[in-house]
Structure formats: C-alpha cells, structure tokens
Chains A and B, each alone.
Chain A
Amino acid sequence: MLEIKNLHANVNGKEILKGLNLTVKAGEIHAIMGPNGAGKSTLASVLTGNPAFEVTEGKVIFEGKDLLELNPEERASEGIFLSFQYPVEIPGVSMVNFMRAAINEQRKYRGQEPIAATDFLRMMREKKELVEMDNKLTNRSVNEGFSGGEKKRNEIFQMAMLDPKLSILDETDSGLDIDALRIVANGVNKLKTPENASIVITHYQRLLDYIIPDFVHVLYDGKIVKTGDKYLALELEEKGYDWLK
C-alpha cells in the first residue's frame, strides 16, 4: 500500500527526516515511537502534503501512485487520513457543513455523485455512536470550544466518516484520560479491516495496549533505527531510547 524510500525532508531549512524507509501493507498496523524531535510528526506532515515541509530527496509510493506529486486534498481523496495531534478550531464552519463538503469533494474526485442528504445524515448518526460523540458537538463549529478529549474523538469520528485506506494517528493518545483513550482506541479497532492500514505515532506504550500493532518502529534522528513486534514497545517503555543510540 505505502512504500517510503530514503525520505529526506526539511522544515524551515532544517533537515528533520534523514533517509527514512518504511513499507506498509494492507491490513497492518504500524506503530512509530521515538523521542521528542525524532521526526515523527514531520513524517505525518510530509505524507499528507503539509506545505510547510519540504521533501528534498526520496520517494513515496501509495497504491502505485507517486504521492509526492499530489496536493493535500488529492492525497486525502486517494485515501490518506491524518488524525491531527492538534486539531484546528475553525469557528464559523459547522461540523455538518465541513463533513458534507469533505465527503462530497472526495466523491467528486473519484467521479461519484454527491451523497444523498438522508444517507449523509444516517451516516453521521452511525459514526457518532461509534466514538460515543455527543450530538451537541456535531452541531457546533469544527472543534470550537471542544475539550482535548472531544477534539481527538472528533478526529476518529471524521476518520469513520471518510473511511480512509491509510490512517495516520499522530499522538492521538496525548491529552486523553483513560476512558477517552479506550473510546478512541475502540473506534480505531472497529474501523480496522483487512483492506486498510494504520500508522500509529505515539510516545507511550499505553495506547498500544488498546491498539495492537503488527510492527513497532523506533524513529530516531530522522531514521528508523529499529523495528520489532509489539514487545519492542514494552522494552522501550522499560529501558527508554538511550540504548538504541
């Protein structure tokens, strides 16, 4: 599904990713761990086409397409979803309008008709239940006045609505209490199919108790320095990152 080869990327002229390689196949969950500043969030930004980041070298192939040639909305419509570490508040844009616009734009990209109003509302209702999201939240502006937990839940709700092939969860666990964490993780697990894949970026092993990864990678100084199974996460939790240097 996704193949990253020798990826180098800069932000503000500073090199953050220094030759990263990663292959993700359908049905897999990859966890990426690593200390602060290793480049975890940069990887998420680069894969989704954030214009603040500059790719200087390397290749990213997604479902046979050169991902780096596509703009952010095209990547999204191809099926890449990012659950933001810091979801943005957009006062004045209602959740309903936002979701309808997103779904219809993606459908347009794929040459499909806009979604029927009744189907859309049914879908909203179903997916809200999945993440146990309050009705009141979807009547508000995007993330405006949401608590940290509500924002993260809203990310998973959007993921459910958009049904991506590859979802990247950027520190979705940060700022969540145990209950919220379980709800968010549950949502992710329910959305898991043999056809989609996830990249889970996290600092802590805790999230991986709920979302069981097939692979755990350690990102250090812009490169993946170690890859293992879910037990690697436990080892990291115990020993820290220093022993990998």
Chain B
Amino acid sequence: MIPRRGTLINLQVIMNNTDTNNRVKSTSTSSVKQDGAEFQYIELYSQHHETIKKHSAYVLNEVRDEAFKKFCTLGFPDSRLENYKYTDLSESLTVDYGLNINRVRFAVNPYDVFKCDVPGISSYLYFVVNEGFYPVSTPRNETLPQGVIIGSLKTAAEEHPELVKKYFGKLSVKQNDGLVAFNGAFAQDGFFMYVPENVTIDKPVQLINILRSNADFMANSHNLVILEKGAKAKLLVCDHTVDDVRFFSNRVTEVFVGENAQYEHYKLENVHNKTTNLCTLLVDQDTSSSFLGNVITLHNGLTRNTVEIDLDGEHCETLMCGMALSDKNQQIDNFTSVIHNKPNSHSSELFKYVLDDSAKGGFTGKLYVAKDAQKTQAYQTNKNILLKGTAKMRTKPQLEIYADDVKCSHGATIGQLDDKAMFYLRQRGITEKEARLLLMYAFTADVIDNIRIDALQDRIKLLVEKRLRGELSKCEGCVICK
C-alpha cells in the first residue's frame, strides 16, 4: 500500500518549516485590477520574480519578464475571446491556488509510489511532479541510445545552454495567448528530450505528470522536445492527479520535428473532477517529417488542449487525433490549428467525443493554408455523440485557404447512436445496455487504432471500455485512488 498519509504529512512539514516563501500565496486584494483573477498573480510575480528566477535557468529567465509583460496585457483568456469561446475558466480562477516557486522537493520517490497502469509497456519512464522534473532516474533509463538527452529542462538549460537556447520559446513567444504568457512567466522547469541526428529511441518515452498537494495547487511546467534530422521517437504523456484538492495545471510543450524525423505524441488524461488542466502543444515540422498526435481524455474536470502544428517544410505528414469521454459536469475543449506554410504536405485531423449527463465539449479545427502552400491536402473530421439531451457539443471548423490548388475537407457531426445498428445488435440477443456500449466503443475505435504503441493501445481499449461501463468513476492509474 501507499503511504498516503505519510506522504502528505511530509509535504506539509516541508512547507510549514520553510514557511511562506516555499509556497507563496498572495491574498492581497488592493489596488488596480481588483476584480481580475490576474491581479494576485501579477503581484506575486512582482514580489517574487527574483525567487522564481533563482530556481530556474538563465535560458528560461531570459524571456521571463517579456512573458510576464505579455501576460499583464493579455490576462487570463475568458470566453469572450473567439479562441476561448468554449473554455470558461472563470470559476477555476476564483480558487486561491498555491504555487511552489521555491521548488521544494517532494520527499516521496514517484518511482516507488507510482505503478504504471499500462501492463506490458516497456518504456523509458520519467516524472514531472507538479511543476518540476523529478531528478532521480531508474536503472532502466540507462540504456537510452547514445547522444539522447532526457531530463529536466532546467538542468538541460544549464548544461547545454546553446542547444536549449536554440529552441526554447521559439514557438511559445509567438503565441498571443494569456495562458502561454503566464506559463512563460511562472514555469521554472519541465521535461526535456533531445534526440540527435538519425537516432531512433527504440522504446516509447513515458512522461507522467503527477499533481499532488495537500492544498489547492497550481503547476506550470514547460516541456521541450527536439528531434534532429532523421530522428525517431515516441512520447507518451500521462496526466494524473493524486490528491483530492483543486488543481490548476498550465503546461506548454514545444516540439521540433527535424527534417525526415518521425515523432509520435500521445497524451492520456486521467485526472479528477476538480482539476483544471490546460495544455498547449506547439509543434514545428521540418521538411518530410511526420507527426502523429493523439490526445485522449478519459476522465477530467475542465480541460483545454491547444494544439498548433506548423508545417514549415514540404512533404510533411501530420495526423492529429483525439477523443473525449465525458459525463457529469466535465468540460473538454480541443482547440487545434494546422498551419500549412509550405507546399505538398498532408494533414488530417480526427476527433471524437462521447458526452453524457451535462458534459460540455468543444472542438475547433483551424486550418490555414498559406498562399504558396500548393498541393496541400488537409482533412478534418469531428464526430460526436450526445447520450443525453443535457450534454452540449460545440464544433467549429475554421478554414483559411489562400492557395488555389489544394484539397481540403472538413466534416462535423453531432448525433445519437444509430437506431438501426442498435436494433441489429439487439436482434442478436445483445441487451440494450450492452449494445449501447458496443456502439460507443466502436465509435471511438478509429481514434484508438491510431495509437501505434501496442501495449498502450490494448490498455486504452480496456480503459475506454471500463470508462463506458461506468466502472471508472475515478481516475485510474494513480495507485492512491484505488
């Protein structure tokens, strides 16, 4: 069993001993933007930016003040913004979250505490606990191919400043998004992966983001993934919550897929209902590279995935998939942009949602084809099933095409389960409940088929089935939940 109580007490002790500096809570309510949720964070930064910088690296700090300034202008996005129409953060932002800007370590080793719930998956395993990369590794990570660097972004920025500097922030600073700016101001660390030219990482790399705290907590982390020319890698990111408090996580991941490189990015979200999980995934693809993204939300509270894929070379292949199974009051918004800057690339998107109860789903598929990006082929599909009249889905294809020799399509459907198929299954003796399950499961099958790690695919199939059966009312994967 897991020493849950011990863990928590430890954390509390560390926090108490080091007093307010470790876990700064700003409760000031005076002066200018009194009504805005931004105010307390602006004040926090103004007071503690030295501390924030002290516990981060120079490369990250270089752009920090700039990001902060941007955040002061933009603030947190609200649903009045076109790009955030389907994400309402107002309630989440009323919570007084603590931040661990002094980078206090957790006394518990996640390798001991966390047992991966994907049986048979052989991976290089790493943890980000709240906002920081967990520095201790496991022996099985020692067999990484030569030249590959995987570890803490902060450490990498200190040890390989030139390398990190070349890529860090190159995509995020261009974003005109309050959450990304906020991350730029507050993120001190994160996950870093570098795959040198023509190197293939034989096994998937697994990054587990664990949220744990004894009080309402906010985590900001910045991940950087670099694949040089001809490199190949697969990354599986799992988001989990461990403690029953309000969490607010705001993570930015920048990915650079070099010429002829192949990268697969899976994100599996299994967090509790009190979590606000904001993820920005920014991908830059070079000539003839391929990218497969698959974001799967099995259980969540409020989730926003912002995905932007820039195709900056010719002959790129891009496949972006995602699915969400939501019920109760869960909210999930996938905001995706695929930007074809160069000719002759193919992209497709496939997103599926099954929404029950009062769940709310949002999908935006922005597609931009630049004037010179001739012979672009871009497809987009978003299909949704609403199981109850109270569930809501909003879907928006948004195509901006400036080239004249392209093939682009989009399609969105919102509906119920197929009556004819239901009757067909029932006529064979399958009960109505079971038939519904089979059909819901079948509905998500093509997204699951796009998981190219066999052990993960099998596991997701099982988790989806359990989820659809209602057996997964809590998040699975974190041993503490069980």
Contact = CB atoms under 8 A, between A and B. Distances in A.
The answer on A and B forming one complex is yes
Interface of A: 48-52, 71-73, 75-77, 81-82, 84, 87-88, 90-93, 97-98, 101-103, 105-106, 109, 141-142, 158, 162
A158 B427 CA distance: 11
A102 B429 contact: yes
A75 to B, nearest CB: 8
13 contacts: A71-B426, A71-B432, A72-B427, A73-B431, A73-B432, A76-B428, A88-B420, A88-B423, A90-B421, A98-B438, A102-B430, A141-B442, A162-B429
A90 B439 contact: yes
B417 to A, nearest CB: 11
A98 B425 contact: yes
A18 to B, nearest CB: 24
B443 interface: yes
B421 A88 contact: yes
Contacts of A82: 427
Given A50-B423, A84-B424, A92 B429 contact: no
A105 B438 contact: no
Given A73-B432, A88-B421, A101-B438, 7 more contacts: A49-B427, A73-B429, A76-B427, A88-B423, A90-B421, A102-B425, A162-B428
Given A91-B445, A92-B443, A92-B446, A76 B426 contact: yes
A77 B421 contact: no
Nearest to A90: B421
B140 to A, nearest CB: 34
- Identify which of B421, B424, B432, B435 gathers the most chain A CB atoms within 10 Å of its CB: B424
- Identify which of B426, B429, B432 gathers the most chain A CB atoms within 10 Å of its CB: B429
Interface in B394-444: 418-421, 423-432, 434-435, 438-439, 441-444
A73 B426 contact: yes
Interface string B439-459: 101111110000000000000
A1 to B, nearest CB: 18
Nearest to A97: B438
Given A71-B432, A73-B432, A105-B434, A92 B427 contact: no
B93 to A, nearest CB: 39
Contact of B438 (A72, A73, A93): A93
- Identify which of A48, A81, A87, A142 gathers the most chain B CB atoms within 10 Å of its CB: A142
B430 A92 contact: no
Contacts of B434: 101, 105
Nearest to B440: A92
Given A91-B445, A101-B438, A77 B429 contact: yes
B442 A72 contact: no
A52 B327 CA distance: 29
**Interface size bracket, B side:** 20 to 34
A50 B425 CA distance: 11
B420 to A, nearest CB: 5
B434 to A, nearest CB: 6
Give me the 6 closest cross-chain CB pairs, A-B, nearest first.
A92-B442, A92-B445, A102-B428, A76-B429, A106-B429, A72-B426
Nearest to B424: A88
A224 to B, nearest CB: 24
B346 to A, nearest CB: 23
A51 B442 contact: no
A84 B434 CA distance: 21
A167 B423 CA distance: 16
A91 to B, nearest CB: 6
A206 B345 CA distance: 54
A142 B430 CA distance: 14
Contacts of B419: 51-52
A97 to B, nearest CB: 7
Contacts of A52: 419, 423
Contacts of B421: 88, 90
Nearest to A87: B424
- Identify which of B423, B427, B431 gathers the most chain A CB atoms within 10 Å of its CB: B427
Contacts of A77: 429
B14 to A, nearest CB: 49
Contacts of A71: 426, 432
Contacts of A102: 425, 428-430
B449 to A, nearest CB: 9
A106 B429 CA distance: 6
A95 B419 CA distance: 19
A73 B430 contact: yes
A24 B445 CA distance: 42
Contacts of B431: 73, 105
Nearest to B443: A92
B430 A101 contact: yes
A71 B427 CA distance: 9
Nearest to B423: A50
A72 B431 CA distance: 8
A203 B193 CA distance: 68
B442 A93 contact: yes
Given A71-B432, A101-B434, A93 B439 contact: yes
A106 B316 CA distance: 50
Contacts of A49: 426-427
A165 to B, nearest CB: 13
- Identify which of A76, A103, A162 gathers the most chain B CB atoms within 10 Å of its CB: A76
Interface string B53-65: 0000000000000
Contacts of B442: 90-93, 141
